[in-house]
A and B are shown apart, each in its own frame.
Chain A
C-alpha cells in the first residue's frame, strides 16, 4: 500500500465519503422526488465515473456509467424512482464499494461480479413503462446480494485461515504433545468453519459480514492517514493563536519590568513556542496549486489518448499558494474544465490541420495572485464555442424562447453554458458531454465567493478565468502610514518603493493643473496622496510632508501613492471587511497586526478608482483600457477620463466620465412613454430618458432601432435627479491626450477633437441637458 499511487489514494478517500452520503441520499429519494437530490446523486456518480476513467479502472467505470445512465433518466423525469430502481442503485453502490475495497487491499479491481448489477441497471433504464412490475422487480434485490458473496467467500477466506490459525491456538493447550498430534483434532472439533460451508446458502450474509470486516478496517486505516478538519476549527485555532501572541507580548513586557530571571527564561521559551505555533498554523492552511495540478499531466495524456488528440499541457505559476479549503473547492471544477477543454475545445489533429493549426493543441493553465484574488486561467487554442450552436441547443432543450435568445448579447449567450443540463457536445462520451460539468463548476466556484468568466472565439480557442477570493489566505503585505494611521498594501501590487528628496529639482513632485505627477523612469505617472484621498487629518505635530512613494500597479496602470513612512513587510491573514464597510470601496479587507490592532488592507484598484487613476465605472462591456504610458503635460484633460459612445451618427461622442453616474441597460418594454418623454423605473424612482442622438440632431433614435435590442443608457445626475441618455453603443473609456482642433459643431457640443484616431464630439451633459430639459420635466 505504501507504493500506492497518490491519486488513487485520494480517489479512494474521496469515494468513501461520497458513497456513504449517496447511500443516505438514495434512501431519501425513495421518500421524496426532490430534483436537487437527484442532481446531487448524479453529480457524485459522474465524478466517480470520471475519476475511474482517468485512473484506468475500466470495471468501475462501466458500473458507474450504467448507474449514471439510469440516474440521468430520473433526472430528466422520464423515469420515476421506485423501490426497484433504488435497490438497483444501492446495489451499484455496494458493487462500487466492493471494487474500491479490492483496490485498496490488492490494488486491482478484484473479481467481484458487477455484470449482474450492470444488467439490472440497464434493465431499469430500458423499461420505464413497467416500473415496479414483476419482471423487472425480480432480478435486482434478491439476485445481487448473494452474488458477490459466494464468489469471494470460498476462494478468499476459507482455505486460508483454517490451517494457519489452528496450530497456534492449539499449541498452548497440549504443550507436551507432538506437532502432528496437535494438528489432528483441528478439522473435526475446534473449528466450526466447516459447518458454515455446508450451510452456506442461508448464512451467506453472515459470512459476507465477516469477510467485509477486514476490508472495513483497511478502509478506515487509509482514511485515518489524513484527518479532515472543518475549516471553522482551523479558523478558531488561527484566531486563538493570534490571541496567544498578544498575551505573549504582554507577558514579555511584564517580564522585562519585573526583572525576574526565572520568569524571563520561561517567557522567552513561551515566546519561541508561540511563534512556532503560529507559523505552523499558518502553514497548515496554505498549499501550492500544484497539489491539484499534479494529476493533470497524466489525466490529460490519458484523455487525449482516448480521444485521439495531441495535447501540449503547459502550467504556469504552479507554486501559487492558496488556502487549503480553496484548493479543495477548486479541485473538481478545475478537473471538469480541463476535461472539457480537451474533449470539446481542442480538435483532433485532422480538424486542426483543416483549420491551419499545428496538430498539437495547447492547453495552458496559469495561476497568479492579483487584486487580492487568486486567478486561475485555463485556456486552449481549440475550436472555441460556436454561439449559434449554443443558441440552437438552448432552443432544443427549451431553456429559452427564440424571442429571448434574439435579445441576448454574445456574452450572455456564452453564459448559457452554465445552465444545468446544457451540453453542446454532439454525443455523450465517457469523458464529458452530459451537461453536468459547467453548472457544477459555476456552483462550486460561486460557493466559495469566486467568479467565473468565459471568453471564446470561434477557431481561436476558449479562455476560462476563475477569480477566487483571498479571504483567509495569507499574503505578504507592506505596512505604511499616512497622517499617523497605518495601512497595509498587498505586496503583489507594489512595484517599487521610493523616497522623494525634498528640495531636489529633478525627481520631485511636479504639478499638472493641480494634479501631482512624478517623473519615474522617464515617464510621468500620476500620484495619489493617501492621506488626502482618505481625508485623514494628521495629528497636528506630525505635519511633515509625505515623502515616501509606493509605486503601485493597478490593473494595467501604474501610479504612485504618497505616504508618510514605509514600515515593514509582514505575512498577514486577510479577514473580510464587515459588510457595512464594503461600500467605502477602497479597502479589500482587514488584518490583525502583531500588536493586536486592526489594520485596514488597501484595495489598490479601489484606491486607483477613487483617485481617478482608473475609470470609476467597471465592466459593463467596456473594452480593456488601452494602456497609456504617457500623460502629456500640455494636455488640459490629463487625468480626466472620457466615455466614448456612439449616438447613431458617424462620429463618436465623448462624455466626461465625471458626469457619468452609471451605465445601465434597459429592455425596450421597460420604457414607458408619457407625452414626449420616455420614463423608466430606476432605483425606486422614475428616471426620464432622452435620446442623445435626437438631442444632438443625429438621425436614428431609440425607437427607430431594432425593438428587441437592449437600450444602452448613460445615467447622469442632473440637478440632483437621475437622467438617462440613450445611446446607440458604448464604445470605450479612454484616458488619452486630446488635441482639440475644432470648435463647437452644434448645440451642447463643447468642441471637437481626435480620440483614438477618430473625430470626436465632446459634450457637456450639464450644459446639454440645461438646454434641452425644462426644469419642470425632471420629476422624481
Chain B
C-alpha cells in the first residue's frame, strides 16, 4: 500500500494545480486588494484578513500567464514564516487524494516559467495535476526590474 496524499486543487489558465491540504490556511472568495505601487508585478497586493496583512501573489503573473483582475480571483491563504500570503487563482477545484507512488517529475514540455515552480505532477482522471512548490514561489528571488533598481539605489 502506498501512502495517500491530499491536495487542494485549483485552476490557473485552464491548468490544474495543487498544494498539500495541510499548507492551506483557508480559501476565500475574491477580496478587495490594495495595490502597492513600485512593487514587483506578482507581489503587489495587500489584503486585510481579520486584521492580518496578507500579501497577494498574482499566480498568473508569477507563472508568466496572461493577467486577470484581482476581483475575479479566488484566494488561497497560506502562512509561511509567520507571514500570510494569498495565492490568487482562477477558480478552486476539489480536494484530490493521490497515491504517493504516482508522483512524476514535471514533464519537460511545460514552459520553463511554470516548470521552475513545480515539484512534480500526478495523473488524475485523464488530467495532469501539477504540484506547486510554495517556497519557490514565495521566496522567488528573481525580482522585477523595478525592484532591482530600487534595491541598488536605496
Interfacial residues, chain A to chain B (CB-CB below 8 A): 238-240, 242-243, 485, 534-536, 575-576, 578-581, 583-587, 590, 592, 596-600, 606, 609-610, 616, 661-662, 717
Contact = CB atoms under 8 A, between A and B. Distances in A.
Given A536-B37, A598-B46, 17 more contacts: A239-B50, A243-B51, A534-B37, A580-B39, A580-B138, A581-B55, A583-B143, A584-B36, A584-B147, A584-B150, A585-B150, A585-B154, A600-B34, A600-B46, A609-B154, A610-B153, A661-B153
B101 interface: no
28 contacts: A239-B50, A240-B51, A242-B51, A485-B34, A485-B35, A536-B37, A580-B138, A581-B39, A581-B43, A583-B150, A583-B154, A584-B38, A584-B150, A585-B150, A585-B154, A590-B34, A590-B53, A592-B53, A596-B32, A597-B48, A598-B47, A600-B34, A600-B46, A606-B154, A609-B153, A609-B154, A616-B154, A661-B152
Contacts of B147: 583-584
A230 to B, nearest CB: 16
Contacts of A590: 34, 46, 53
Contacts of A243: 50-51
Contact of A583 (B48, B55, B138, B151): B151
A575 B147 CA distance: 22
Contacts of B150: 583-585, 610
Contact of B152 (A581, A600, A606, A662): A662
Interface of B, helix, strand, loop or mixed by DSSP: mixed
B83 interface: yes
A124 to B, nearest CB: 45
A3 B32 CA distance: 55
A598 B53 contact: yes
- Residue of A485, A578, A580, A610 most packed against chain B (CB within 10 A): A580
Contacts of B43: 580-581
Interface string B135-154: 00010000100010011111
Contacts of A584: 36-39, 147, 150
- Residue of A597, A606, A662 most packed against chain B (CB within 10 A): A597
A207 B51 CA distance: 55
A626 to B, nearest CB: 22
Contacts of B143: 583
B55 A535 contact: no
Nearest to B154: A585
Contacts of A578: 46, 53, 55, 83
Contacts of B34: 485, 590, 597-600
B109 interface: no
Nearest to A487: B37
Contacts of B2: none
Interface in B73-123: 83
Nearest to A715: B152
Nearest to A616: B153
B52 interface: yes
Given A581-B43, A616-B153, A662-B152, A535 B53 contact: no
Nearest to B50: A243
Nearest to A612: B153
B101 to A, nearest CB: 36
A599 B48 CA distance: 10
B12 to A, nearest CB: 20
A599 B34 CA distance: 7
A645 B73 CA distance: 53
Contacts of A717: 152
B51 A581 contact: no
B13 to A, nearest CB: 23
A243 B54 CA distance: 15
